[in-house]
Amino acid sequence: MSSDLTNDHHAGYPNIRMRRNRRTDWSRRLVREHNVRADDLILPLFIQPGSNSPSLPTPIPSMPGAFRYTISDLCDKAREASDLGIPAIALFPATPQELKTDDCREAFNPQNLVCQAVRAIKKLNLDLGIICDVALDPYSSHGQDGLVENGQILNDQTLTALCEQAVVQAEAGCDIIAPSDMMDGRVGVIRQALDSKGFADVQIMAYAAKYASAFYGPFRDAVGSSGNLSAGDKKTYQMDPANTNEALREVALDIQEGADMVMVKPGMPYLDILQRVKSEFQMPTFAYQVSGEYAMIKFAAQNGAIDEHNCMLESLLAFKRAGADGILTYFALDAAKALS
């Protein structure tokens, strides 16, 4: 192509050369618009009952590299996360099947796995926040996030149960309550319940836009709820993946009810939602790189299709670019090591 033709088709050339800033590594770093840091990461951890033995922690086959930990092992992971500069961990229990009931009463037991784990980690005196999930599915015999009657999810009755669960977790020492159930009105009643019990400083990170996604499968394996849910689904309370404006209404309601932070879940398939939420509300906004997203990268890397290290970091950068202030990711420890 002649220089005349080039000039005709590219106004400003050769004065404007976009590749100049890309020529060297230092220059690319200098003009970089977004970065991922350890400060941006939250590490989800799965808890299982039992004492340490050579067979523990327990691998999760559908999530390569992820494990269920006893509380002692969990404390070691908490120390590691803190040492790497990760600001917070999120705890999820693999409740024994015999403790799962229709009324989900194990959720309110001050000696349940989550409460025991919170107290044990707090004794370590780490500079590390603890996030506790508030939903009934890890404790329910039916696998749903709410109480069920005649096949229907009971919204208002579930709210009472969620308040009791949140207060028990706060009493154990939880720093951030994270309602993931998607019942209407739950943030407001949980805020009132916490305040009335003297926990006004406990934060709420609302799963404000949580979709009825097919990407949660490995997580349900990890907490042992997939068998309980069986052929059921959560479409009557989690959001329709086709909707975007509805997400803004959900987030607005949670903010009005007292949420300190909001979350979009899943992550990469919903970056458009994340961007809209951050742009609209300018709230501390988080995204969850869920188990299915993590598993896809892991299995693809294991089979030589992609480079795990670079795809991991690129995926996390995508969340930051879309507006996330932080990312819940099972890659948190590996990413923090790489970023250091």
Counts for the chain of helices (H) and strands (E), in that order: 13, 12
Does 235 qualify as catalytic in the annotation? no
- Catalytic residue selected from 100, 210, 234, 320: 210
Q: What's the CA angle centered on 268, arms 83 and 272, to 5 degrees?
A: 125
Over residues 42-89, the pLDDT tens digits come to 999 999 998 765 557 899 999 999 999 999 999 999 999 999 999 999
8 A C-beta contact, residue 267 and residue 319: yes
Does 210 qualify as catalytic in the annotation? yes
pLDDT at 322: 98
Over residues 284-339, the pLDDT tens digits come to 999 999 999 999 999 999 999 999 999 999 999 999 999 999 999 999 999 999 99
Over residues 206-218, the pLDDT tens digits come to 999 999 999 999 9
> Residue 224's pLDDT band (boundaries 50, 70, 90)?
confident
8 A C-beta contact, residue 120 and residue 71: yes
87 phi and psi angles, rounded to 5 deg: -75, -25
Report pTM. Answer: 0.93
Q: Between β-strands 67-69 and 58-59, what pairing exists: parallel, antiparallel or unpaired? A: antiparallel
Where is 335: in which H helix or E strand?
A: helix 332-339
Average pLDDT of the segment spanning 1-7: 53
Handedness of CA 251, 177, 190, 106 (dihedral sign): positive
> Residue 191's pLDDT band (boundaries 50, 70, 90)?
very high
pLDDT at 2: 53
8 A C-beta contact, residue 73 and residue 79: no
Q: What is the dihedral of CA 27, 332, 132, 225, to 10 degrees?
A: 130
Q: What is the dihedral of CA 134, 282, 337, 272, to 10 degrees?
A: 80
SS3 32: coil
DSSP string, 102-161: TT-GGGG-TTSHHHHHHHHHHTTT-S-EEEEEE-SGGGBSS--SSEEETTEEEHHHHHHH
Answer CATH for 39-339 from 3.90.650.10, 3.40.50.920, 3.20.20.70, 3.30.390.30: 3.20.20.70
- Catalytic residue selected from 265, 278, 298, 320: 265
- Ordered by start, the domain boundaries in the chain are 1-32, 39-339
SS3 content of the chain, % helix, strand, coil (to 5): 45, 20, 35
Q: Can you say which residues are annotated as belonging to the binding site?
A: 250
pLDDT at residue 231 greater than cutoff 70:
no
DSSP string, 149-203: ETTEEEHHHHHHHHHHHHHHHHHHT-SEEEE-S--TTHHHHHHHHHHHTT-TT-E
